[in-house]
Structure 1
Amino acid sequence: MTSQMLCKARKYEEIAEKVIKKEERPAFHFSPRTGWMNDPNGFSYYKGKYHMFYQYYPYDTRWNSMHWGHAVSDDLLHWEYVPAALAPDENYDKEGCFSGSAIALPDGRQLLIYTGVARKAQEDGTDCEIQTQCIAVGDGTNYEKYENNPVLDEKHIPEGSSKVDFRDPKVWKKEDGSFACVVGNRPADGSGQILLYSSLDGFKWEFVSVLAENRNRFGKMWECPDFFELDGKYILLVSPQYMQGKGLEYHNGNGTVCFVGDLDKSTNTFKEESNHAIDYGIDFYAPQTVIAPDGRRIMIGWMQNWDTVGLYSPEKKWFGQMSLPREISVKNGRLYQWPIRELEELREEKVVYHDVTVEGTMKLEGIKGRKIDLELELSAGEDSYKKFMLQFAQNEEHYTSVCFWPQESLLEIDRKFSGASKDTVHERKCQVNSYNGKLEMRVILDQYSVEVFVNHGEQVLSATLYTDPAAEGITFLTEGKVKMNVIKYDLQE
């Protein structure tokens, strides 16, 4: 039975959606039906459709009492909104339905597992928010919360672990038909840890092990874990809070880490071999993956930064967008990411330049736009060059840039002149693999974002943009001579 609170949200979003014009949204990046959106939730494939649930507050463009929004898609680029799936309408989740995931049950229903937040009185007379894991089951449109919620609470966590920071379950089906999930948590030392649970039916869950421990290396609480096997390795994705940078890695404060390693099946513990940032840009958090029907593992993340969420435009009726869905693979101990191949079906109006020599400042006829797929290959001319800069989303006043210094193999994304409402951290640098000035970049521009895929997806830099979508200029600037190949496609909606 649909609660009064959920009915209210569904009626509101249906009306509020109508005042948002299509051209005011991203063309092929997912945005909320109305109001506020953060983490992707329940990213899944069910009944022939991709499903995107998301952290959602329909009534304002600021974070507030978390609901679950819901949309479906055939191609991960064009989405159809369906009614909100969850509202914080029970005692165990009245402070919010926080992040979680989704899986199909053997009987054909879809199970949602999420974090319920409720304020409870403590033995010392104080009260605090307690987080538990809860489930709801439905048909792809309507979901009913389980009568025995919560299914995981403080009785299911290791002694001394936090019942306040215990959230974001990611579920999957094992080869034997049973279920497993990982949940983020904090042990007694205040660091982060990932807990592993198992279930025969998806309803009754048992603690298995502490899968991975932070030991105060990467921030504090590890949010939004995902754990899976890919290309012969086990991958753990986490989003740490309060993370300090290390060299040019991990400078987003609330950022992302990919751990590559193996699983000790005798102890159900993850054996880490390497780690790196998932995204080297400004805006990327809480990624979640799904297995497509053809076997690809596809990842999507919230294309935003908790430190810069105040830069939104108050007149807009929506806030928050997802990254491009990315096909992921593992090569040489790294996570490679590449735009889903479905994006290539949106290409039109191809423009090609071969062996262009850029010296100083140059524009190329036909190379402009805000909904484009731009491929660049750089190399040194007769002599090495000192700097290459690509400026885009450009008009007389604003632009965003990607800058490459070949001698240091440094790449920087910079949006400080993009027209944001206030000055803050708008730059990120990363080390890239380059030899003799050679670098390959694929730059995807949408109305309000840019994603730069470096060296066939070895690294990605993502950022939201605050420039008028009519700013379509693109300029190339160099110190020294650069040889350049360019392919540009417009991307249709």
Structure 2
Amino acid sequence: MRRFWLLAIVALVVFGCKDASETNTNTDTTISDDVNNNVEQYRSRFHFTPEANWMNDPNGLVYFDDTYHLFYQYYPHGTVWGPMHWGHAVSKDLLNWEHKPIALYPDKHGYIFSGSAVIDKQNTAGFGENAMVAVYTYHNANLEKENSILYQTQGIAYSTDKGETWTKYKNNPVLDNPGIKDFRDPKVFWNVDKLKWQMLLAAKDHIQIYESNNLKNWAKISEFRLNDNPPLGVWECPDLFKLTVEGSTEEKWVLIISHGGESSPNGGSGTRYFVGDYDGITFTTNQKVNKWIDYGTDNYAGVTYNNTPNNKRIFIGWMSNWNYATVTPTETWRSAMTLPRELKLIKMITVIL
């Protein structure tokens, strides 16, 4: 008898929203019953899109004070990829979004690549009780041009006004590069069992896990590796969280990893997941077969929200693919996010005769 755990994906568009009929004058994703209204060509009414210019990975997904925050990779000076910033939008219902000013700009340490955000309820970092703290990758383009492999490090910034304004930590970076070319996309969460912050980092072809008491000083505690054959593209945008199996009290951990290149079942970039166990140090799984969050080509770099009510795992991905992201036929803006989806675990039992 073999057990299978499957990740059930439930769209939140209908029943996950407060009131999808509420009027919203601050966003370009407002739903209207008038099919003939003046909507820009290709502009989705359901999926989040930037007001203008380039967008890719969702970043810093965090819920605080009855508000969902969506940060994202953003280039404000064109419709193709450029020096990365963090764009920012907020929503009460995950459907109607209000655009906010750019949250994070590049600085002397580099561009602002992907990362996560947490609410520091215990003021462990000393930035203030309930400070919103962003943990992100610095990408130093000058070091990259010099053929150094040390061009990606990790930095933090904080907000004490619910994400309206941001201050970068004066002693950035908080984690130097250990000698790995691709060292990025920190996903940070509070481990309630260990009472410590923990962070996953994509490190070329594996995941590294770090631990901290204060979000400033990090120590590596483990790695997760696979012998993929054939190897998939570079590992990116990891996420790790615990779910209760539907209809039971059993708990399992889920690890999400995105891959570039031609990794997904239908070509291009994609996101797979693993169901296993995590003891606060090491993630283990006996899963032998790749499982994919989405079998379409338009789902990449997705991660889940931190700090949600009842610890729901709400997932948003970038609704594009690196094979064609820069050539989609929109004029003043480019890219969209997937619909928010709640992730759940279900168990299927198959008798092997």
Interval containing the TM-score (normalised by the shorter chain): 0.7 to 0.9
Give, in whole Å, the separation in 2 of the partners of 1:205 and 1:319: 36
Contact 1:135 1:150 in 2 (8 A): yes
**How far does residue 196 in structure 1 lie from its aligned partner after superposition?**
0.3
The alpha-carbon distance between structure 1 residues 73 and 311, as it changes in their structure 2 partners (threshold 3 A), is same
Partner SS state of residue 23, structure 1: coil
1:239 is aligned to 258
Q: Judging by fraction of residues, say which structure has more strand.
A: 1
Q: Deviations over 1:14-38 (max 9, x none)?
A: xxx99xx972232121111210100
Q: Give the gaps of 5 or more residues in structure 2.
A: 1-26, 29-36, 123-128, 245-250
Give the aligned residue type for 2:58. Answer: P
The alpha-carbon distance between structure 1 residues 331 and 295, as it changes in their structure 2 partners (threshold 3 A), is same
1:107-186 aligned within 5 A = 107-119=129-141, 126-127=147-148, 130-138=151-159, 139=161, 140-154=163-177, 157=178, 162=180, 164-175=181-192, 176-186=194-204
Q: Deviations over 1:150-207 (max 9, x none)?
A: 11112xx4xxx51x20000001111154211100002xxxxx1000011111122111
Contact 2:276 2:283 in 1 (8 A): no
Identity, % of aligned positions: 40
Q: Give the gaps of 5 or more residues in structure 1.
A: 1-16, 187-191, 335-493
2:6 is aligned to none
Give, in whole Å, the separation in 2 of the partners of 1:171 and 1:272: 24
Give the aligned residue type for 1:131. Answer: Q
1:3-402 aligned within 5 A = 23-24=39-40, 25-89=43-107, 91-93=108-110, 96-105=111-120, 106=122, 107-119=129-141, 126-127=147-148, 130-138=151-159, 139=161, 140-154=163-177, 157=178, 162=180, 164-175=181-192, 176-186=194-204, 192-210=205-223, 212-217=224-229, 218-231=231-244, 232-244=251-263, 250-265=265-280, 268-273=282-287, 275-291=290-306, 292-313=308-329, 316-332=331-347
Contact 1:296 1:327 in 2 (8 A): yes
Partner SS state of residue 92, structure 1: coil
Q: Deviations over 1:83-128 (max 9, x none)?
A: 1001112x211xx210000001121110000000114559xx7556
Which one has the largest radius of gyration?
1
Q: Which runs of 4+ in 1 moved over 3 A?
A: 119-122, 125-129
Contact 2:89 2:100 in 1 (8 A): yes
1:364 is aligned to none
TM-score by length of 2: 0.77
The alpha-carbon distance between structure 1 residues 172 and 127, as it changes in their structure 2 partners (threshold 3 A), is closer
**How far does residue 324 in structure 1 lie from its aligned partner after superposition?**
0.6
**How far does residue 302 in structure 1 lie from its aligned partner after superposition?**
0.5
Range moving further from structure 2, 267-276 or 22-31? 267-276
Root-mean-square deviation (Å): 2.3
The alpha-carbon distance between structure 1 residues 178 and 271, as it changes in their structure 2 partners (threshold 3 A), is same
Aligned length: 293
Work out which structure has the larger RCO, using CA pairs closer than 8 Å and 6 or more positions apart in sequence: 2
Partner SS state of residue 279, structure 1: coil
Give, in whole Å, the separation in 2 of the partners of 1:241 and 1:305: 9
Contact 2:212 2:219 in 1 (8 A): yes
